[in-house]
């Protein structure tokens, strides 16, 4: 009886020793080397995992930076301060980055925009592509106002006011989630210090736009003709301002008859 117990104990001990040795050898043989810089970069990143950098999360970006596949200032949430810290870790010069923010190119509030009918369905902008004219607003390019972008924003930087989404540029981190989710493609990332912007996305001819919205761009070219810096272009009956050329004189906004151009 005793000998049987001793034999069983010896067998169990031998098996345990074998497994321990096997795991030890396997751990050494298959050990994945982790770049210390990757861990240091990950510790500096904000940890929001928003995906605004183009990677699945902060760990993905940290790995890419450590491998030299991404710039040290790739994190839109951390901005310049985080970029400088990562540059120190990587031993490189931090490239001067420009802060970007989301902007909704629409002013079609309930008062200013025309409506073809009253919509009472699911309040999700993405669902409105299945309803007549893509939504109740007469303008096919206008903000639908049901806040899919609001729900997507992890920083509480965008809210719907009087039927139109509005971005708080001082809170926005330019993660791009609102840009990706907007079915009308009204939201873009622009420089934080943009002086004047065209708050309309309509591509319709002037007469059609005027029937749909009182503040819609009609492509009249007055802004372009009066811009001293040649910063305004007109394409598909819609104006666009180049922030690199704009000197902030405000002449375009002053001359715009529909007040489609606003100070940012």
Query: Domain containing 50 — which CATH number?
Result: 1.10.15.40
**Pair (83, 103) in one structural domain:** no
Query: CA-CA distance, 169 to 50, in Å (whole number)?
Result: 17
What are the beta bridge partners of residue 234? 239
203-226 in b/e form (b: 16+ CB < 10 A) is ebeeebbeebbbbbbbbbebbbee
**Pair (199, 188) in one structural domain:** no
**What SS3 state is found at 24?**
helix
Average pLDDT, rounded, for the chain:
88
**Pair (187, 198) in one structural domain:** no
Q: Answer yes or no: is pLDDT of 7 > 80.
A: no
**Pair (72, 105) in one structural domain:** no
Q: Is 11 buried (19+), middle (13-18) or exposed (0-12) by CB count in 10 A?
A: exposed
**What SS3 state is found at 164?**
strand
**Pair (207, 255) in one structural domain:** yes
**What SS3 state is found at 40?**
helix
In a domain? residue 43: yes
Question: Assign residue 79 a region: left if phi > 0, alpha if psi is -120 to 50, beta otherwise?
Answer: left
Residue from 142, 146, 134, 149 nearest 114 by CA: 142
Q: Answer yes or no: is pLDDT of 23 > 80.
A: no
Query: CA-CA distance, 149 to 106, in Å (whole number)?
Result: 14
Domain count, the chain: 3
**Per-residue pLDDT reduced to its tens digit, 137-161:** 999 999 999 999 999 999 999 999 9
Query: CA-CA distance, 216 to 218, in Å (whole number)?
Result: 6
Final residue in a domain of this structure, among 28, 61, 90:
90
Phi, psi of 213 (to 5 degrees): -160, 140
In a domain? residue 102: yes
CB 258 within 8 A of CB 219: no
Q: Where are the beta strands (DSSP E) in 8-125?
A: 100-104
Final residue in a domain of this structure, among 146, 171, 192:
192
pLDDT-based confidence at 71, cuts 50/70/90?
Answer: confident
Which pLDDT value is given to residue 218?
Answer: 97
Which pLDDT value is given to residue 30?
Answer: 55
In a domain? residue 28: no
User: In this structure, what CATH number is given to the domain that contains residue 220?
Assistant: 3.30.70.20
Which pLDDT value is given to residue 103?
Answer: 98
Residue range of the domain that includes 127: 98-192
Which pLDDT value is given to residue 1?
Answer: 56
- Compute the average pLDDT of residues 248-264: 97
pLDDT-based confidence at 249, cuts 50/70/90?
Answer: very high
**Pair (264, 186) in one structural domain:** no
Alpha helices in 154-221 (DSSP H): 177-181, 206-212
**Pair (106, 174) in one structural domain:** yes
In a domain? residue 7: no
Final residue in a domain of this structure, among 129, 163, 192:
192
CB 196 within 8 A of CB 246: yes
**Pair (130, 54) in one structural domain:** no
**Pair (217, 255) in one structural domain:** yes
Which pLDDT value is given to residue 52?
Answer: 81
In a domain? residue 8: no
Which pLDDT value is given to residue 5?
Answer: 66
**Pair (144, 173) in one structural domain:** yes
Which pLDDT value is given to residue 28?
Answer: 63
Higher local confidence (pLDDT), 90 or 129 = 90
Element (DSSP H or E) covering residue 240: strand 238-241
In a domain? residue 25: no
- Compute the average pLDDT of residues 179-201: 96
In a domain? residue 49: yes
**Pair (47, 85) in one structural domain:** yes
Question: Assign residue 9 a region: left if phi > 0, alpha if psi is -120 to 50, beta otherwise?
Answer: alpha
Which pLDDT value is given to residue 32?
Answer: 54
**Pair (113, 58) in one structural domain:** no
In a domain? residue 106: yes
**What contacts 95, CB < 8 A, 6 or more positions away?**
71, 72, 73, 83
């Amino acid at each position: 009886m005793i000998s049987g117990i001793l034999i069983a104990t010896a067998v169990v001990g031998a098996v345990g020793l074998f497994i321990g040795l096997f795991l030890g050898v396997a751990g050494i043989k298959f050990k994945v080397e982790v770049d210390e810089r990757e861990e240091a970069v990950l510790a500096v990143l904000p940890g929001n995992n928003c995906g605004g950098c183009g990677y699945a999360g902060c760990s993905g970006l940290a790995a890419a930076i450590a491998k030299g596949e991404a710039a040290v200032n790739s994190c839109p949430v951390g901005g310049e301060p985080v970029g400088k810290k990562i540059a120190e870790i990587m031993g490189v010069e931090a490239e001067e980055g420009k802060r970007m923010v989301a902007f909704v190119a629409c002013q079609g509030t309930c008062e200013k925009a025309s409506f073809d009918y009253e919509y009472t369905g699911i309040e999700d902008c993405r669902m409105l592509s299945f309803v007549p004219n893509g939504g109740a607003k007469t303008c096919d390019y206008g903000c639908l106002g049901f806040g899919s972008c609001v729900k997507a924003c992890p920083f509480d930087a965008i809210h719907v006011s009087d039927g139109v989404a509005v971005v708080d540029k001082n809170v926005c981190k330019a993660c791009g989630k609102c840009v990706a989710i907007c079915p009308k493609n009204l939201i873009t990332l622009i420089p934080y210090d943009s002086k004047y912007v065209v708050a309309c996305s309509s591509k319709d001819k002037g007469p059609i736009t005027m029937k749909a919205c009182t503040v819609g761009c009609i492509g009249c070219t007055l802004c372009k003709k009066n811009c001293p810096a040649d910063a305004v272009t007109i394409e598909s009956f819609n104006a666009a301002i180049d922030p690199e050329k704009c000197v902030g004189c405000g002449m375009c906004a002053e001359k715009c008859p529909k007040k489609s151009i606003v100070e940012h």
